[in-house]
Structure formats: structure tokens, C-alpha cells
Amino acid sequence: MSQIKKRSKKSPRPASPPRASSNPALDLFHRHWHAIEKQQAKMDKFASDGRAIYDRFCHELEPLERQQCALIYQLCQRLTTFTARKSFTQWQRETLHDWIHELFSYLESNPFRGELDLEAIAIDLQANSSALMDEEMIEQQCDFMYAMLMEACGHAPDDREQLRAFVRDPHLLRDYMLNARAQAQSPDQDDGDAGEEGDDVSFDWDLEGVDEDEDNPFADHAFDDDEPDHAASQVDALFDKSSLKQLYRKLAMALHPDREPDPVKREEKNQLMGQLSHAWEHQEMFTLLQLAHTHLPESESLLSADNLAYINPLLKQRLRELERQYYLETEQGLLAVVLRRFKQRSKKKTEAAFAEHRAYLEQDIGSLKQDLAEIRSLQTLKPYLSARLNAQQQAFWEDDFDLDSLFR
């Protein structure tokens, strides 16, 4: 997630779209430039409006979010230790596993879990479960393991005993898959295969459950791999143009601090001159054009038709990048999630949203602490399992469930 920078107080406000002239290339430049300024102003407003709320969330609620995750992780670890016990009935074991998976899924999708090792819990859970399997169940798991490895890695052991070892010891399975991914990413492997293998080895979690390919309006217009190289070659060619060098020289004359008698303005021009030198040295076209647009009134007369033939496609690409960045910042990522939850239409409603979420976190933290204090043996765990099963059954019958739908 990219970090949004606050808009400079001295940045010019977007101007109204200029009238058409007799120069179509210059008109296109104006339209692109106006659209970029408008989009940047939109992004700056989003950052300005949301920054105070986001900072408040990080200060007041994020510590509680992380504390909740840590306690859920501890409870998940505690419950996993019971899965190797044999004295459960079938419904108790199923309820216990459902509880663990519920906690695990919450942590997996939570951005505040930090460095909590979910893989260790998954491995312990699999190891404990396999210890209770009979031979028929192990054989079924071997068939599942073989199919899973063929799909994930493109190959799987033919040795049945090795598959049984994977079922009994998940560490061996993890090492096998990590080794497969390392081989796929080695220089000796074809690049076409490297992206397919090992994709399922690490955990995948999404802040908001947004599928970028399905819901992202820019997914069908993603930049090709060759596009950055093409854009770079265009910028290289543009900076070789003598007219652009003339633009740079005129800007340098206008911004040179030695020509400014006022000490305050001299310091400001000194900073601007530093930006100009950096932009020219690193071929930052947009910074150069922004400086010219702001500080050089005659800049447009220095943009030849040859220059505009290079600049206009780059401006169009820049606009597309800003639109995509704005989408990602407002629809995905932690900042977007926080603002959707807490940025309300009035200050009173914003305060209520913060208070409600704080109360939920504090209550849940208290409940988790109580669970950890009480669940220390099978004797204290089993009443919890009974209560969870009863709650699930009650919720099932309280829903407006159409029994006839089962037979349709």
C-alpha cells in the first residue's frame, strides 16, 4: 500500500480547462495536464481528510487490535494442544476443529497480526490430527496429498511411504514444497514455470477480501511488462531534445538563488533549484514540467510539436497510474478500511464509531483473557464445546430457514 503525501500548501489549485487553440497537440497537453492536476487534488483531499482519522485510529485502537490478535493466537495455540487427545466424541472433536479454524481464519485475514507464526499452528494441527488416523484415513490423505502436490508443484513422490511420511509429519511436506519452489525459481528453470510453482506454500491474506481481478476496474488495463521500458526510452529521447534543454536553462535562470535579493525568497529558490537539478539529473519529466508550469509563464512556447509527441503519451500514462493509485488507496488497503469504518458524515457519528469499536475490542479482550484463564484441561474445555454447539444449533433454528429448500 502506497503512502499518500500531504499536498504542499504552495501547490497551485487546478485551473479550469483551457480553451481550444489552433494547436491540437498543445490542446491535448492541456487536457492531460488539467486531468492530472484534478486527479492529484482529489488524492490530496482524500489524504488530508482521512489523515487525522487514520492517525487517531493508529494511536487509540491499533494497540487494542494487536492485543486482541495476540490473545486469539494464544487461544488458538492452547486449543491446538488438545487436538491430539483421544477422549473426545465425534461432535466434540468437530466443534473443537471448527473453533480453531474460525480463530485461524480471523488471524489469517487480520492486518494487525504482525509476526505471529500461523504456519506453526497449522503444522501442529495437522500433526495432531494425523496421529489419530487409522490406516484407511492415512491412505485417503495420501491420495489427497498426491493430487495437491501435483497441482501446486507439478510433481509428487511416487513412493507411497514418502507420502505417508508427509501425512504424519507436516514439516517434511513443508520442506518438500519449499524445495520445489526454490528449484522453480532457480536460473536453470524456465521462467514460465517459476510463477506456477510454490504459490500455495505461504499464507495469503487480504485486508478487505477484495479480489483485484474481479473488482478492480483497472485490472483489464494493467500495464504490460514492456511498457515501463518503452516509457523510459521515450523519456530518454525527450531529454535529449535541445528544446527541453532550453526549458531547463530558462528555469535555472528563473530559480537561481543568487539572483534573488530577498533572503526568504532566496532560501525558497535554493530549494526549488535543488528540485530542478535532481529532476534533470534523474530525468523526472513530471517534476520538470510542474516547475515550468508554476514558475515559467512562457514554458508552453518552449514545448515544440516534437516534444509534445513524446510528452502527451507519457502524461496519459501518468494519469492512468494516478487513477489506479487512487483506486487502490480508497478501495483497498488499511487506510481505506479505516476510513470506511470511521469516517462518518458528522463528528458525532465519527465519535460514536470509535467508541463502539473500542467497546467491542475491550469486551473481546476481556473474554479472551477469561477463556485463556479457564481452558487449561479437558474438564474445563468440554463445557465450552457444549456451549458453542448449542449456540450454533440455536442460531440455525432461529434463522428463517426454509426446510423445503433441502428437497428442491
What is the mean pLDDT of the segment spanning 161-179? Answer: 81
Q: How many CA atoms lie within 13 A of 232 on its CB side?
A: 6
What is the mean pLDDT of the segment spanning 15-36? Answer: 76
Q: What's the residue count for the chain?
A: 408
pLDDT at 311 > cutoff 80: yes
**Concatenated DSSP letters for 331-398?**
HSHHHHHHHHHH--SSHHHHHHHHHHHHHHHHHHHHHHHHHHHH-SSHHHHHHHHHHHHHHHHHHHHH
Choose among 98, 109, 24: nearest CA to 69. Answer: 109
Cell of 147: 493430487
Choose among 226, 232, 248, 246: nearest CA to 310. Answer: 232
pLDDT in tens, 116-129: 988 888 888 877 77
Give 223's pLDDT tier (boundaries 50, 70, 90).
very low
pLDDT at 330 > cutoff 70: yes
Cα(24)–Cα(172) distance, integer angstroms: 66
Q: What one-letter code names the amino acid at 374?
A: E
pLDDT in tens, 331-369: 777 888 888 889 888 999 999 999 999 999 999 999 999
The pLDDT score that the predictor gives to residue 131 is 64
Which residues have C-beta within 8 Å of that of residue 203, sequence separation ≥ 6? 108, 118, 119
pLDDT in tens, 237-279: 666 665 678 888 888 888 888 878 888 988 998 999 999 899 8
Cα(94)–Cα(84) distance, integer angstroms: 13
pLDDT at 187 > cutoff 70: no
Give 98's pLDDT tier (boundaries 50, 70, 90).
very high
- SS3 state at 21: coil
Cα(169)–Cα(195) distance, integer angstroms: 27
pLDDT at 222 > cutoff 60: no
Give 141's pLDDT tier (boundaries 50, 70, 90).
confident
Q: How many CA atoms lie within 13 A of 28 on its CB side?
A: 15
Mean pLDDT of the chain: 78
Give 182's pLDDT tier (boundaries 50, 70, 90).
confident
The pLDDT score that the predictor gives to residue 91 is 92
Give 73's pLDDT tier (boundaries 50, 70, 90).
very high
pLDDT at 212 > cutoff 70: no
More confident residue, 286 or 316: 316
More confident residue, 374 or 193: 374
- Give the rounded distance of the alpha carbon of 131 from its chain centre: 38
The pLDDT score that the predictor gives to residue 71 is 97
The pLDDT score that the predictor gives to residue 351 is 94
CA angle 350, 355, 359 (to 5 degrees): 150
Residue ranges of E strands in 88-128: none
The pLDDT score that the predictor gives to residue 75 is 96
The pLDDT score that the predictor gives to residue 27 is 87
